[in-house]
Amino acid sequence: MERLGLVKRLRGPMTPFYLDVGETWQPVLAHLERLVREQHHHGMTVAQLSQRIREGVYQVWIWGDNEAVFMTTLFRQPSGRAVCSLSWAVGADAIHPDVIYPQIEAWAREQGCQALVIVGRKGWERVMRPHGFGLADQTLIKEL
C-alpha cells in the first residue's frame, strides 16, 4: 500500500474531489487544533499531526465548507490484511454517517483494503451497526 498524502474534500454524497495539502491547509489546521484540544489526540501535538499528514500517514477528509474533518490511516495487520482505520473526527456530530461513510468505504476499497475499522466513542457502534459494523474489541486506557 502506498502512502497517500491527501486532503479529500467531500461536498456531498458521492461527489468527492482532491486538493493537495498546501491548497487547503488553514481550515485543516483549525480542525487539528480543535482535535488536539478536545480529544487529546493520543498525546500528539498539532505539529506532529501535521507532519504525519504531509508524510501520508494520515489522510484528511473535509466535509462541506470545513464543517467537519475526519482522519483515516491505512495499515496492514500482522496477517497481511489491508485495513483503513477511521480514527478521528471533529465537527461530525451534525453530519449523518450515511452521507460520509459510503465515500470512505469506496475509497478504502480502491486502496485495496479488506476491512474498515472505526475507532471512536461508544455511540458510533449504534450508528454504524446498520452499515455492517460490529463491535470487535474495546480499548481500555490508563494515563500514567
pLDDT tens for 116-144 read: 998 877 777 888 888 888 888 777 777 78
- Residue 142 pLDDT: 72
CATH T-level topology, domain 7-131: Aminopeptidase (3.40.630)
In angstroms, what CA-CA distances link 142 with 30, 88, 118, 124, 134?
A: 28, 20, 21, 22, 25
Question: Taking the model in full, what pTM does it have?
Answer: 0.74
Domain edges within the chain: 7-131
User: How is the chain split among helix, strand and coil, in percent rounded to 5?
Assistant: 40, 25, 35
C-alpha cell at 109: 476499497
| Largest Cα span, the chain | 44
